[in-house]
Structure formats: structure tokens, C-alpha cells
């Protein structure tokens, strides 16, 4: 599919430091029978640490990240289980529930006999990725995947009874992935998949290959969501190259509330421009006394050097009593002879109180803004709305280059408004009862300054246009009313509440690293 789809990965932890000492041990058995489950896999999600249960269902994990961390237990024929392990925990007694295959919609549809021939390429691109790293990845047991095609609803589903094995020759890891769900909706263009992963380093005695893996791992780490979470917790996100800005997503028909419909620069001596401004504000039937009072008020504000804040004035309704018309006057820096006037309009009485906060950054406005193709992924299991493609972009809005960056992002014709001010990391981090939480409203736009994005990413976002690699830009949001708990190592939860878009959603299993990776 030409448009990127929604990419969902469940329960990824992010780690900066590691702990040794207390071992984690226990026994895995079947729920209700106390019958041990030999060969069950017990591992720390998305890491190289784990163990296989012996014939008595017992396991021991000696090396692990700093407490607390997420432990995953899987076995063929049983439902996977996750749990949080804290310091000082007693030996674990873990019960697994046998899988029950009901007659849900997936099971009443027979698997496709030629499923891999029809859907294999799409599956690989959406599951592993389409970067140069992905080109060096091999799915070793593709025959274990079953594809189910729901013709009526245009939905593709995939499943596997055994974990998938992916050899990543770009980073030097063998990834074992327990695929829990995979659903691709061709109508809404949504992709949902989640699962659990364990890593093994591929051994090699060839110095050239190990050097390549080392370099590729570092490149995959730099600017990644792992990197961001670690630097955010440590309080050095800016030093590490991450610029954080607030972003607001609005409906297209609300744009006039935040973005000037028009803007002009003038001086009082420009009589014709001043007359036109008064006509714009009050119409041809304006009361001369009101016009005179307005001119005197503007002149008083303009000549008072102590008045540096914008002056806001309401205009007449001009036949539409529901329309709020606001004219904002701003003194340009370094010019004491002229002033800027910007006109806003909306049906919201709070326009005057909110518009100043929505001055946007349009300096990076590019031709791809008319394409509106956006990736999105969640660290949890909640599907999200997909994005618009070419032809669905909203109409062009005339803006001066310093005001706003506007990008169409969904079929609902919404616009992204990017605030120019850099958000201090400590303003979105709170320390409550010894716990560190990430909390913010709306969206955050994160730019990684030290690397440009892959050309493959830009080719996919704007098919047919020459790739124009830029700094890596990603967007994150948290479910309303929620916050993320960031742990000492950089781990966070609840990952189900985090939504990631743009560049970070492009980085899939092809660039996924174990959480025990430590950049040098």
C-alpha cells in the first residue's frame, strides 16, 4: 500500500542502565492443574535476557535490568503472560492459561492457501519495515504464518502458533518474536500488531562484520525513541540533540481561530492602507466616532514604548452575529515606524484568549505538506485513526513564512500547528512520591538534530518526488488524562497509552534494538 499504515507495538521498555545481583527465579505451571510447563520461555521483553524452563517448569535469570522491569512468559498452546518484577520479589509462581480457540471472525475464515504469495510482501513491509536495514532482514520461518482475508470487510489478518524468527544482518541480532495480533484494514488503512521479542547476538569472528553491526546499531539507536526516553529521564534531552515543541491538532474549519486569515504591515502615514483597515474592521457603514476612537487607541499603543504586548481589538460582526472577528496589532522588532496587523476569525468567544499561544513555525514548510502522508504507531494495543493521502489535502491557506507550519494529517481534515518555543524537558516531567512521570497535553513534536532521516522514508511519504531528507521529526501523544511512568533505567509504562507518529513509526523491527544495548 502506498500510504503508510498505523503501526502498533505492545509493551516496549527503554533502558539506559543495568543491574546485576539478585537473580529472578520461579516455576511456570498450568493454571488450575499445578502441572509444570517444560520449555516455556521466560524473558525480559525486548532484551537479550531470559531463560527456558527445565523439565520441572523451573527457570533462573541471573542478569537483568534495574528493577522494576517487565517479564514475559510464553509457551506454545498457552496464553502469553506479562508481569512487573520488583526488587526483593520472592520466587515467582507463574500460571499460564491454555489457549481457547473460539469461533470468532478470524476462525470462521479459512487461511489462504496462497497467502504468502498474495500478502507476504505487504506483511514484511508492515511488520519488519522498508529501510536498507529491512533489506538485510530475513524471516526464517515464513511458512509458519497463516493469512486470513476477510473479503467483505477488506481486512487482512495474520497469525502464527510458534514464535517468528527474524535474522537481522544489519544489526547482528536474531529476533524471536511472539506475534499476538496482526490486523490490516484496507478500507480505513489501519494496521494493528503487537507481540513480544527476545534478542540473541549473532556470533561472528569477522572483524569487518562486527564493526558494521556496531556502527549500524549506534545509528539505529541515535535519535530513536529508546534514545529519547533515556535522555529525557536523565534530563539531557537538549544536549543529546532532541528539540521538543508543543503541537496542537485542529479541525481545518477552526484554523482562522489560530492562524491569521490575512496579515499586513503599515504605518499611520499610509492613509489608503489605514482607511482600508478601518473598512475591514467596521465595514462601510462604520460610525465615524468609533473609527476615530479606534485610531486614537492604536496610535496611543503604537507611540508608547512601554507597550510591547500585542493590541487586540474586536471588529464588527458584519452581518454574521456568530462570527468573532479579531484584529491583532504587533510591533515588529527593530522598526519603530510600522506595525503589523493580523486578522483572525472564528465562532469561538475565547479566540482572543488563546490565539497568541498558537503562533506557529512555518520555516520548514515544504511541498510535502500537500501530501499529508503520516505514519503512526502506539506502544500499546489501541488502534488509531489513519491518515490522508494525496488528493485529500485541505485547501491552501496563505501564510507568511514565519508564522506556521501546517500539515494535513487525517481524513477529518485536521491541521498540525507547531509552536515555535522549545519545551524545557523538566516542564513535562514531574517527580511524585519518588516516581518520575511524563505528562503533557495534546501532542509533542520532537526533532532530532544530529541525523537526517532515511531517504526510503521520504520516498514512501511522497511517491514520485525526489527524496528530500530532513532532520528526523516525530510526534508523540498520551491517552487523555494519562501519564507515563518513567523508571530509573529509562523504562516507561503504561506503554498502551503512548502513540508515536512520523519517523519513529517508520523505525520498525528492522531498527529495533534490545533494551540492554549500550551506546559507546
Question: Into which CATH architecture does domain 18-96 fall?
Answer: Sandwich (2.60)
Predicted confidence (pLDDT) at residue 402 exceeds the cutoff of 60: no
For all residues of the chain together, what is the average pLDDT?
A: 79
Q: Which of 97-106, 361-370, 442-451 has the lowest mean pLDDT?
A: 361-370
Q: What confidence tier does 101 reach under pLDDT thresholds 50, 70, 90?
A: low
Q: What confidence tier does 102 reach under pLDDT thresholds 50, 70, 90?
A: low
Q: Which three cell numbers stand for residue 294?
A: 479606534
Q: What is the pLDDT of residues 122-147, one digit of tens each?
A: 999 999 999 999 999 999 999 999 99
DSSP track, 291-338: HHHHHHHHHHHHH-TT--SPEEEEPP-TT-TT-EEEEEEEPPTT-SS-
Q: Which three cell numbers stand for residue 271?
A: 492613509
The arithmetic mean of pLDDT across residues 156-174, rounded, is 96
Listed residue (325, 310, 420) closest to 365, CA to CA: 420
Q: What is the pLDDT of residues 247-288, one digit of tens each?
A: 988 877 777 777 788 889 988 788 888 889 999 899 888 888
Q: Where are the domains of the chain?
A: 18-96, 102-221, 242-253+361-511, 260-355
Q: Is 41 exposed, middle or buried (0-12, 13-18, 19+ CB in 10 A)?
A: buried
Q: Which residues contact 347 (CB under 8 A, 6 or more apart)?
A: 322, 323, 324
Report the distance separating Cα 276 and Cα 263, nearest Å: 13
Q: What is the pLDDT of residues 198-241, one digit of tens each?
A: 999 999 999 999 999 999 999 999 999 889 988 888 889 999 99
Report the distance separating Cα 402 and Cα 322, nearest Å: 30
Report the distance separating Cα 295 and Cα 327, nearest Å: 13
Predicted confidence (pLDDT) at residue 12 exceeds the cutoff of 50: no
Q: What is the pLDDT of residues 24-75, one digit of tens each?
A: 999 999 998 889 999 999 999 888 999 999 999 999 998 888 787 889 999 9
CA–chain centroid gap for 22, Å, is 35
**pLDDT at residue 417 in the model:** 83
pTM: 0.71
Q: Which of 212-216, 319-323, 460-464 has the lowest mean pLDDT?
A: 319-323
Report the distance separating Cα 350 and Cα 337, nearest Å: 31
DSSP track, 402-451: TT--EEE-STT-EEEEEEEEEPPGGGSEEEETTEEEE--SSEEEEEEEEE
With contact defined as beta carbons under 8 Å apart, do 25 and 176 qualify?
no
**pLDDT at residue 73 in the model:** 96
Residue 302 host element (H or E): helix 288-303
Q: Which three cell numbers stand for residue 227?
A: 534514545
E strand residue ranges, 111-221: 137-139, 146-150, 155-159, 164-168, 173-185, 190-201
Listed residue (363, 364, 362, 358) closest to 344, CA to CA: 358
**pLDDT at residue 373 in the model:** 27
Q: What is the pLDDT of residues 406-418, one digit of tens each?
A: 334 444 567 788 8
Report the distance separating Cα 375 and Cα 263, nearest Å: 33
- Greater confidence, 404 or 372? 404
Q: How many CB atoms lie within 10 A of CB 19?
A: 15
Amino acid at each position: 500500500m502506498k500510504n503508510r499504515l498505523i503501526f502498533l507495538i505492545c509493551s516496549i521498555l527503554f533502558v539506559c542502565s543495568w543491574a546485576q545481583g539478585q537473580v529472578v527465579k520461579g516455576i511456570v505451571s498450568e493454571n488450575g492443574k499445578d502441572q509444570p510447563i517444560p520449555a516455556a520461555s521466560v524473558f525480559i521483553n525486548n532484551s537479550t535476557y531470559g531463560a527456558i524452563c527445565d523439565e520441572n517448569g523451573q527457570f533462573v535469570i541471573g542478569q537483568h535490568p534495574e528493577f522494576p522491569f517487565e517479564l514475559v512468559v510464553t509457551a506454545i498452546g498457552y496464553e502469553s503472560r506479562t508481569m512487573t518484577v520488583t526488587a526483593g520479589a520472592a520466587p515467582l509462581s507463574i500460571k499460564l492459561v491454555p489457549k481457547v480457540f473460539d469461533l470468532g471472525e478470524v476462525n470462521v475464515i479459512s487461511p489462504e492457501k496462497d497467502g504468502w504469495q498474495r500478502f507476504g510482501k505487504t506483511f514484511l513491509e508492515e511488520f519488519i519495515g522498508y529501510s536498507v536495514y529491512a533489506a538485510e532482514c530475513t524471516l526464517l520461518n515464513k511458512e509458519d504464518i497463516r493469512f486470513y482475508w476477510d473479503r467483505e470487510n477488506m481486512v487482512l489478518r495474520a497469525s502464527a502458533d510458534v514464535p517468528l524468527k527474524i535474522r537481522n544482518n544489519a544489526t547482528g541480532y536474531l529476533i524471536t518474536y511472539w506475534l499476538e495480533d496482526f490486523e490490516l484494514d484496507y478500507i480505513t488503512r489501519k494496521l494493528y500488531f503487537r507481540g513480544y521479542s527476545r534478542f540473541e547476538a549473532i556470533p561472528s569472528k569477522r572483524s569487518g562484520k562486527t564493526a558494521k553491526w556496531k556502527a549500524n546499531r549506534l545509528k539505529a539507536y541515535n535519535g530513536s525513541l529508546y534514545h529519547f526516553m533515556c535522555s529525557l529521564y536523565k534530563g539531557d534531552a537538549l544536549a543529546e540533540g532532541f528539540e521538543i515543541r508543543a503541537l496542537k491538532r485542529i479541525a481545518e474549519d477552526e484554523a482562522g481561530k489560530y492562524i491569521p486569515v490575512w496579515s499586513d504591515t503599515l504605518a499611520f502615514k499610509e492613509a489608503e492602507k489605514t482607511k482600508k483597515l478601518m473598512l475591514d474592521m467596521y465595514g462601510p457603514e462604520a460610525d465615524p466616532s468609533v473609527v476615530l476612537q479606534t485610531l486614537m487607541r492604536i496610535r496611543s499603543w503604537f507611540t508608547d514604548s512601554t507597550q510591547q504586548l500585542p493590541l487586540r481589538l474586536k471588529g464588527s460582526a458584519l452581518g454574521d452575529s456568530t462570527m468573532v472577528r479579531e484584529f491583532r496589532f504587533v510591533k515588529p522588532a527593530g522598526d519603530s515606524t510600522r506595525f503589523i496587523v493580523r486578522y483572525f476569525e472564528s465562532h469561538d468567544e475565547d479566540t482572543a484568549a488563546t490565539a497568541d499561544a498558537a503562533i506557529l513555525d512555518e520555516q520548514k514548510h515544504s511541498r510535502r505538506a500537500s501530501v499529508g502522508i503520516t505514519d503512526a504507531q502506539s506502544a500499546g494495543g489501541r488502534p488509531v485513526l489513519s491518515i490522508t493521502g494525496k488528493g485529500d489535502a485541505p485547501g491552501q491557506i496563505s501564510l507568511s513564512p514565519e508564522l506556521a507550519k501546517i500539515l494535513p494529517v487525517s481524513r477529518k481534515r485536521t491541521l498540525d500547528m507547531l509552536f515555535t518555543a522549545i519545551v524545557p524537558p523538566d516542564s513535562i516531567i514531574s517527580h511524585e512520591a519518588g516516581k518520575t512521570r511524563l505528562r503533557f497535553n495534546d501532542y509533542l513534536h520532537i526533532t532530532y538534530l544530529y541525523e537526517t532521516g532515511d531517504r526510503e522514508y521520504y520516498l514512501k511519504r511522497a511517491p514520485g518526488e525526489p527524496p528530500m531528507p530532513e532532520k528526523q521529526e516525530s510526534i508523540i501523544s498520551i491517552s487523555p488524562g494519562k501519564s507515563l511512568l518513567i523508571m530509573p533505567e529509562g523504562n516507561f509504562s503504561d506503554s498502551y497509552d503512548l502513540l508515536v507518529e512520523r519517523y519513529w513509526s517508520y523505525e520498525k523491527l528492522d531498527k529495533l534494538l534490545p533494551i540492554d544495548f549500550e551506546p559507546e
